């Protein structure tokens, strides 16, 4: 877990990536596990929180600090939109459904590609372009945003500030009620 002194943006994002990868590995190594739907719902909730926080703080920082930040952020947001569509489809399926495993494999592959892009390009560029203080501030903002972010995919929701900053907490509130009523872990 990230501590206060380690809460710079790159560390926060990278730790999230490692946590998601651990869940992906569990899903790949235990395809017949009885809690497959629960684990899938958990990783979807974590991916949504992570994506929302990136869209609220990391991608605006890329736009502000990087010469080609707009094109990088637009590409990343586009990948998030595609992943959200997959997550929404997967959320509606059960492990016995013939579409469940292909959707899950596609999601895992797409997210791994996205992680590779961010860690190989975007994060190193932000590390160079931002001061340590700015990276720490952004890391703290991402951690705070994840605490109040939605837990379910909302493909039609805005993914750029200021609309995502305004509407995100409302969606999160509804998601948490739905999670509680359905017994879904959030």
Q: How many domains does the chain have?
A: 1
Residues spanned by the domain of 32: 4-182
Q: What is the pLDDT of residue 33?
A: 67
CATH number at residue 118: 1.20.120
Mean model confidence pLDDT for the chain: 84
- Cα gap 158→166, rounded to integer Å: 10
pLDDT band for position 159 (50/70/90)? low
User: In the Cβ-directed half-sphere of 173, how many Cα atoms lie within 13 Å?
Assistant: 5
- Does residue 66 contact residue 74 with C-beta atoms inside 8 Å? no
- Does residue 76 contact residue 47 with C-beta atoms inside 8 Å? no
Question: Per-residue pLDDT tens for 1-47?
Answer: 444 446 899 999 999 999 999 999 999 998 776 789 999 999 999 99
Q: What is the pLDDT of residue 34?
A: 75
Query: Cβ-count burial of 3 within 10 angstroms (0-12 exposed, 13-18 middle, 19+ buried)?
Result: exposed
- Cα gap 51→144, rounded to integer Å: 13
Please state, as a whole number, how many other Cβ atoms lie within 10 Å of the Cβ of residue 98.
Answer: 7
Q: What is the pLDDT of residue 111?
A: 97
pLDDT at 170 over 80: no
Q: What is the pLDDT of residue 151?
A: 73
Please state, as a whole number, how many other Cβ atoms lie within 10 Å of the Cβ of residue 64.
Answer: 13
């Amino acid at each position: 877990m990230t501590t206060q002194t380690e809460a710079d943006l790159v560390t926060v994002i990278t730790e999230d990536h490692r946590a998601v990868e651990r869940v992906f590995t569990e899903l790949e190594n235990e395809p017949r596990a009885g809690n497959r739907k629960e684990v899938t719902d958990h990783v979807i909730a974590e991916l949504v929180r992570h994506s929302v926080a990136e869209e609220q703080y990391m991608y605006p920082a890329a736009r502000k600090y990087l010469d080609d930040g707009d094109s990088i952020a637009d590409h990343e947001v586009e990948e998030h939109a595609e992943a959200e569509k997959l997550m929404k489809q997967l959320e509606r399926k059960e492990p016995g459904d013939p579409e469940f495993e292909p959707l899950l494999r596609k999601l895992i592959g797409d997210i791994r590609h996205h992680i590779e892009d961010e860690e190989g390009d975007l994060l190193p560029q932000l590390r160079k372009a931002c001061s340590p203080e700015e990276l720490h501030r952004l890391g703290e903002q991402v951690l705070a945003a994840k605490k109040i972010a939605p837990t379910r995919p909302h493909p039609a929701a805005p993914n750029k500030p200021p609309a995502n900053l305004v509407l995100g907490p409302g969606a999160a509130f509804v998601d948490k009620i739905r999670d509680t009523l359905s017994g879904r872990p959030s």
